[in-house]
């Protein structure tokens, strides 16, 4: 998130978690992430949700 906020577009923890949930429902993004590493899309989503819960 720090990288995205510094070099991309501003994003909150809640926004990032919502984006990772979308990745799980969109076949293009799901296949892209899972093609890089099995379980990556689910890991990102779980990590984002955990981060939001800590805030």
* pLDDT tens for the chain, residues 1 to 55: 888 899 988 999 999 999 999 999 999 999 999 999 999 999 999 999 999 999 7
Interatomic CA distance for residues 34 and 38, integer angstroms: 5
Interatomic CA distance for residues 11 and 26, integer angstroms: 20
Residue 36 CB contacts under 8 Å (≥ 6 apart), including other chains: none
pLDDT of amino acid 23: 96
Residue 42 CB contacts under 8 Å (≥ 6 apart), including other chains: 24
pLDDT of amino acid 52: 95
């Amino acid at each position: 998130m720090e990288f995205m906020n510094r070099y991309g577009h501003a994003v909150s923890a809640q926004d990032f978690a919502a984006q990772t949930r979308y990745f799980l429902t969109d076949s293009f993004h799901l296949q892209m992430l899972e093609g890089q590493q099995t379980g990556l899309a689910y890991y990102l989503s779980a990590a984002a949700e955990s981060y939001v819960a800590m805030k």
